[in-house]
Amino acid sequence: MAQGNQTKVSEFLLMGFSEDPELQPLIFGLFLSMYLITVFGNLLIILATISDSHLHTPMYFFLSNLSFVDIGFTSTTIPKMLWNIHTQSQVITYEACIFQMHFFTLFIGLDIFLLTVMAYDRFMAICHPLRYTVIMNPQICGLMMLVSWIISLLHALLESLMVLQLSFCTVLEIPHFFCELNQMIQLASSDTFLNNMVMYFVAVFLAGGSLFGIIYSYSQIMFCICEISSSQGKYKAFSTCASHLSVVSLFYCTGLGVYLSSAATHGSHSIITASVMYTVITPMLNPFIYSLRNKDLKRGLKMLFGKENIKVSIVLGLEKCL
Tell me the per-residue pLDDT of 3-20, one tens digit each, with 9 for 90 and over.
Answer: 434 446 678 888 877 777
Amino acid at 309: N
Contact indicator for 265, 288 with CB cutoff of 8 Å: no
* % residues pLDDT > 90 (the chain): 39
Give me the pLDDT at residue 23, please.
84
Of the listed ranges 188-202, 205-219, 297-311, the least confidently predicted one is 297-311
* % residues pLDDT > 70 (the chain): 86
Give me the pLDDT at residue 290, please.
82
Average pLDDT value over all residues in the chain:
83
CA 62 – CA 50 distance, rounded (Å): 12
Q: Has domain 11-295 been given CATH number 3.40.50.300?
A: no
Say which DSSP state 14 is in. Answer: E
CA 106 – CA 100 distance, rounded (Å): 10
Bridge partners, 154 (sequence order): none
For the stretch 162-177, pLDDT in tens is 999 988 876 678 888 8
Task: Give me the mean pLDDT over the 136-147 stretch.
Answer: 95
Bridge partners, 174 (sequence order): 14
Say which DSSP state 76 is in. Answer: T
Amino acid at 264: A
CA 8 – CA 19 distance, rounded (Å): 27
For the stretch 28-83, pLDDT in tens is 999 999 999 999 999 999 998 988 888 889 999 999 999 999 999 899 999 999 99
Domain positions in the chain are 11-295
CA 59 – CA 115 distance, rounded (Å): 11
Of the listed ranges 21-25, 64-68, 264-268, the least confidently predicted one is 264-268
Per-range mean pLDDT, top range of 95-104, 241-250, 258-267: 95-104
Extended strands (E) in 85-132 = 91-93
Phi, psi dihedral angles at 39 (to 5 degrees): -65, -45
